[in-house]
Structure 1
Amino acid sequence: MTTHTPDLEIRALLPGEQDLFLDYPHPATPGVGLESRRSWAETLAEGHYRPEWSWVARRGGRTVARCAFWGVPDAARPYSLDWFELGRDPDRREVGTALLAAALREVRTAEGARPEYHLFLPPGWREDGGVRAATDDRLAAAYAAGYEPFIERFNYTWTPADGLPARSSRLVFREVDDAAATAVCRAAAEGTLDGYTARDVARHGLDAAARRMVEELAELPSPRDWWRAAYTSGGDLVGLIVPARNPARAVVGFIAVVPAQRGSGYVDDLLAETTAMLAERGAAEIGGDTDLGNRPMAAAFARAGYRNTAIRVVLQ
């Protein structure tokens, strides 16, 4: 559908209209969004963007704002909004709001929800005037289009140059089936500091939230037999690790310590084993993330040599 205002045309691309998206005249704001880190055309060719998921606002024959929703290549619907540029015109916030509002009337996730907006930013983004101004523009436009604040996450990166953390000498790791993994996820969801897990528990209850966690982790494009349950030498369950890969790189898919074992520093053992397993399988880079409010996990990443390389602000 095309939306017209007195001087603005807003619509999704049709096949073969890539030039309209690329007609945007402004360079990316360094550090703000994925626009400065990713090629839209290459990502389109890979199937993560689609013409019908890519929208433009045009005025006077030029593209003044644009956005794109990201999804899995074979999926019928996108997962998130991660590309949003609203131009430099004096009314850019209003244009950005109109663009998002029009797109969100048609673009929904597989669950029928509004795709989350994932805005990637550099660490310390609030202290950089240019980054802060560009970020404030995007957030203001998104809020006016109906988005609400959800969470802010630390994104971490590890490479072999950062050094492997010492593997645990007090835990034993064993392969784990879905039933046992679900039981750990259920136990770990109680009192969680993770925003996504807490939201799922609030929406669906503990049992359903745990099942959803296992189902989503199983969808990652890495072998299921990488998953491990962790036990003390006496056989007591400590937690679960999911070394994994996403479409871009190796990742710390999931780490959980069951409530009865919290407070003993086992998160360091679990993260060290996850890192070592992925390194043994050839990972040149490992990504991980945790919520701004999950200080224990953030501290564990730092102790293991992971560097905070980005912040991801998520709106829902």
Structure 2
Amino acid sequence: MKTRRATAGDVDALVEFPDDPGVVSLSRKQVRDDFEAGRMRPEWSWVIEDEGRLLGRALWWGRGESSPSTLDALDLLPEVGDPRSAAVGLLRAGHADLESSGHCGVPPYTVRLRGGWRDDPQSVRAADWRIAAMADVGIVGSIERRQYAWTPDNGVPASSTRVTFRHGSDDEFIQLFGAAARGTLDVETLQALESMDEVTQAKDDFEFYESCPGDRQWWQVATAGDGTPVGFIVPSATPYNRNVGYLGVLPGYRGKGLVDDLLGEVTRMHAAAGADRITATTDMTNLPMAAAFHRANYQVVEVRLVLKAPR
């Protein structure tokens, strides 16, 4: 078997690579669309080949950047006897290539799994060799998240009678991001605050969401009847769907169910624009947010295990 960088001639085979029933595989349409849009590229992809036949693929993904931001697929055919070792070979080759081209750090990898995956031996095996291979190349951190989706059949929430929404300046949103981080249950935010101050972390969040495919004009500040800000919403989008993005209830106003008002406004905004699917993600440990999605009729569609290098 030979490990090599992919070429343009491999794209069809990369798109049509067989699904692994132990994980939630990327759809072939999405992979082809990503290659056509430049979010996936042959020069970011590595394969295992035997006598001209592809036995494995590692596909890195980026949103138009000069280098990828995440590993989106790591797959091997069942006939590969030692998937962990084979995957390590793909990862080391890809990481060395990224490093030589000036990329800083190792991109995270999201393993997509079905709900209840720990009770399914096939899913456990599929997750285990991927987790072990990533650990072998130094990726030992993990965050488990639920991926949700809303469709029009789930119904549009009624308008809030407790808060109103208005636009806000960039500086105000940076302040709101910082305030919402106090007492947050979001794992990535907590990890970021271990190595940076509140203002820097808030600016990072602002810049990230501003860079997403959504529209800055969608962002809204939620206010009480006297005009006091109680929270904010940052409706967003991915290259594939409208997305809940970010919403935050400010300290001092939590525990009153205002998260339902904020999530409802995001849902109404996207639904009014004709969205036929709205996606969202929250950490497995963020039980209040998970409960809010449940009340708003968002359905769990997969579990995401995000494997990333320690800070």
State TM-score, norm by structure 1.
Answer: 0.90
Matched, 1:173 2:154: no
CA distance in 1, matches of 2:226, 2:173: 20
Among 129, 139, 142, which residue is 1:147 paired with? Answer: 139
Q: What SS does structure 1 have at the residue aligned with 2:195?
A: helix
CA apart distance, 1:242:
1.1
Closer/same/farther in 2, CA of residues 178 and 306 from structure 1, 3 Å limit: same
Q: What SS does structure 1 have at the residue aligned with 2:97?
A: coil
Q: What SS does structure 2 have at the residue aligned with 1:123?
A: coil
CA distance in 2, matches of 1:77, 1:126: 34
CA distance in 1, matches of 2:124, 2:46: 25
Q: What SS does structure 1 have at the residue aligned with 2:81?
A: coil
Q: Which residue of 1 aligns with 2:286?
A: 294
Q: Which amino acid aligns with 1:266?
A: L
Q: Which residue of 1 aligns with 2:272?
A: 280
Matched, 1:79 2:72: no
Q: Which residue of 2 aligns with 1:96?
A: 87
Aligned length, in residue pairs: 306
Matched, 1:135 2:122: no
Closer/same/farther in 2, CA of residues 183 and 130 from structure 1, 3 Å limit: same
- Higher RCO, Cα 8 Å, sep 6+: 2
Q: Which residue of 2 aligns with 1:18?
A: 11
**CA offsets, 1:82-134, max 9 Å, x none?**
11113322222111111112211222698711111011111111112222222
Q: Which shows bigger deviation, 294-303 or 140-149?
A: 140-149
Q: Work out whether residues 22 and 113 of structure 2, in 8 Å CA contact, stay in contact via their aligned partners in 1.
A: yes
Q: Which residue of 1 aligns with 2:61?
A: 70
CA apart distance, 1:63:
2.4
The residue correspondences of 1:262-281 to structure 2 (distance < 5 A) are 262-281=254-273
CA apart distance, 1:21:
4.0
Q: What SS does structure 1 have at the residue aligned with 2:247?
A: strand
Q: Which residue of 1 aligns with 2:252?
A: 260
CA apart distance, 1:289:
0.9
Q: Work out whether residues 22 and 124 of structure 2, in 8 Å CA contact, stay in contact via their aligned partners in 1.
A: no
**CA offsets, 1:215-249, max 9 Å, x none?**
11111222211110011112221111012222111
Q: What SS does structure 2 have at the residue aligned with 1:153?
A: strand
CA apart distance, 1:20:
6.3
Q: Which shows bigger deviation, 102-111 or 192-201?
A: 102-111
Matched, 1:227 2:230: no
Q: Work out whether residues 110 and 306 of structure 2, in 8 Å CA contact, stay in contact via their aligned partners in 1.
A: yes
Q: Which amino acid aligns with 1:11?
A: R
CA apart distance, 1:41:
3.5
- Structure 1 residue runs without a partner (length 5+): 1-7
CA apart distance, 1:303:
0.4
The residue correspondences of 1:165-244 to structure 2 (distance < 5 A) are 165-244=157-236
Matched, 1:162 2:161: no
Closer/same/farther in 2, CA of residues 42 and 249 from structure 1, 3 Å limit: closer
- Structure 2 residue runs without a partner (length 5+): none
**CA offsets, 1:108-167, max 9 Å, x none?**
698711111011111111112222222222222222222113211111101110011222
Q: Which amino acid aligns with 1:259?
A: P
CA apart distance, 1:29:
1.8
Percent of pairs identical after alignment?
38
Q: What's the Cα RMSD here?
A: 2.0
